[in-house]
């Protein structure tokens, strides 16, 4: 009986705990950068410049939501991927920098611009 009560308590606890949003899509030019649920990449607008001295990727995504929700998603997700926020919307990881700009009205839709720079 105690085991059943303990199992029920665990299931109840997990069901009521707020979980971070799960990303289902990733940017094509930045393969380890997830997109918040609902944002869709504009692949035809993305650019990738790769040379011996470094790489620059610019990608765009848009969809429903708010700028605050997009920023909140990345503030909770990117540290888990090794990124450190240096300033609002600016991130650093090893020899890479990432800038995320989100534009849109308070009630959406939003457009996000991602610029990744790396040094080889």
Secondary structure class of 88 (helix, strand, coil): coil
The 10 Å Cβ neighbour count of residue 31 is: 8
* pLDDT-based confidence at residue 1 (cuts at 50, 70, 90): low
Predicted pLDDT at 13: 44
Domains belonging to the chain, first-starting first, are: 23-119 (3.30.1370)
10 pLDDT more than 80: no
21 pLDDT more than 60: no
* pLDDT-based confidence at residue 17 (cuts at 50, 70, 90): very low
Average pLDDT, the chain: 84
- The pTM of this model reads 0.77
* pLDDT-based confidence at residue 16 (cuts at 50, 70, 90): very low
Secondary structure class of 4 (helix, strand, coil): helix
Predicted pLDDT at 48: 94
52-107 pLDDT, tens per residue?
989 999 999 999 989 999 999 999 999 999 999 999 999 999 999 999 999 988 77
Q: How many angstroms separate the CA atoms of 92 and 8, rounded?
A: 42
């Amino acid at each position: 009986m105690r085991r059943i009560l303990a199992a029920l308590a665990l299931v109840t606890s997990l069901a009521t705990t707020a979980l971070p949003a799960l990303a289902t899509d990733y940017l094509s030019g930045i393969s380890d950068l997830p997109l918040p649920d609902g944002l869709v990449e504009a692949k035809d607008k993305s650019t990738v410049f790769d040379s011996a001295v470094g790489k620059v990727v610019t990608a765009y995504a848009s969809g429903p939501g708010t700028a605050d929700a997009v920023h909140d998603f990345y503030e909770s997700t990117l540290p888990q991927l090794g990124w450190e926020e240096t300033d609002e919307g600016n991130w650093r990881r090893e020899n890479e920098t990432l800038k995320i700009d989100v534009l849109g009205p308070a009630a959406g839709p939003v457009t996000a611009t991602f610029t990744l720079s790396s040094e080889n």
